[in-house]
Amino acid sequence: MSTSTIGAVLGLISALGVVLVGARLLALRPPSMLERIAPFVPATPRTRALGSPLPTVGQILTGLARPLLGTSREGVDVRLGRSGGISLEELRIAQMTAIGIGAVAGVGAGVMGCVRGANPLCLPLLLGLGALAGAILVDQWLTHRIRRRQRAISHELPVVVELLAFAVAAGEAPAQAIERVCRSVGGELAAELQACLAEMRGGLALDLALTSMAGRCGNPDVERFADACVVALERGSPLAEVLRAQASDARACDRRVLMESASRKEVAMLIPVVFLILPTVVLIAIFPGIQGLQLVIHS
């Protein structure tokens, strides 16, 4: 058995060991606050996901190979719905294109390595690594698009909810208020409200349509908004007051997220200050002294 084969086997055994250790650490971790309060709150997509059993080693390996297999735990349709405007055909075309480019790049690197005297076994290895890298890039691009849409929905939520509160307080029914807001504003949340309005026109109740919208968005802020509206409709609470409270909470959450982002950026700004600006200032301060000492020594 050659040295490269032994190294590959040892690397595979080490990777499996890391996966097993990670699975064990996940099983031993303490429950989070959301997991502790999940049995006492209404079921949402996030709390229902908490009731699923812990992932096995096979599920962890499948999750690692998810970009290459084209599957996901949430489902491809759910992720495409949350990305907004991407069809399954476009995703498959992007995946095949990225995998092909990665495979060609891997083959080119392997051929160059073989020409320079490398082991020929590196050719299929680089081919697989290139294809996997292309699939991972497409998966990361889709994840980034989903996160960007989630942030856009969170930013639009306070304005949309305030407009709904004004319309409901003026005497309009919830369906007419949603229709008026959809005509007045644009954006990702307005598109989701239009889909909710279409479901209501198709015969679905308002509370079920709001719950369906929260499931499609996958945004915690939208889930809280939908839950508050459903509770207000079931208990007969004034919907306008509930909407005003939700708008205030959404603005407070937006300010908190902004403050957290500012604090992280403040820490990141220390990197150029400490490693670039401060050494330059110190160098400028001590350089004349060094030059003066050299002149004294040479004289």
The mean per-residue pLDDT over the stretch 255-275 comes to 82
Residue 194 placed within a domain: yes
Tens digits of residue pLDDT in 136-179: 888 888 888 888 888 888 888 888 888 888 888 888 888 888 88
**Which CATH number is 249's domain given?**
1.20.81
Q: Are 280 and 272 in contact (CB under 8 A)?
A: no
Residue 88 is assigned to a structural domain of this protein: no
**221 occurs within a structural domain:** yes
Last residue of a domain, one of 15, 31, 53: 53
Output the average pLDDT for the chain.
Answer: 80
Residues in the chain: 299
Residue range 74-98, pLDDT digits in tens:
567 777 777 777 777 888 888 889 8
Residue 72 φ/ψ, nearest 5 degrees? -155, 160
C-alpha distances out from residue 216 to 44, 69, 139, 152, 230, Å: 12, 23, 19, 15, 16
Query: Residues 217, 232: contact at Cβ < 8 Å?
Result: no
Given a cut of 50, whether residue 73 has pLDDT beyond it is: no
Q: Residues near 122 by Cβ (< 8 Å), separated by ≥ 6?
A: 110, 113, 114
Using the 3D structure, point to which of 232, 254, 276 is the last residue of a domain: 254
Quick check: 34 and 76 in contact, CB under 8 A? Answer: no
pLDDT tens-digit series, residues 16-31: 888 888 877 777 777 7
For residue 106, the surrounding DSSP H or E stretch is helix 88-115
Percent of the chain whose pLDDT exceeds 90: 0
List the domain range (segments joined by +) for residue 30. Answer: 6-53
The label of the residue with tokens 């409270």 reads 245
298: in domain: no
Please check whether residue 264 lies inside any domain of the structure. no
Is position 204 within any domain? yes
Q: What is the pTM of this model?
A: 0.63
- Asked whether residue 124 carries a pLDDT value surpassing 70, the answer given is yes
Structurally, the chain folds into a number of domains equal to 2
In the prediction, which pLDDT does 115 show? 81
Residue 56, both tokens: 């096995």
Q: Could you tell me if residue 99 is inside a domain?
A: no
Identify whether 280 is part of a domain.
Answer: no
Cβ neighbours, 10 Å, residue 258: 10
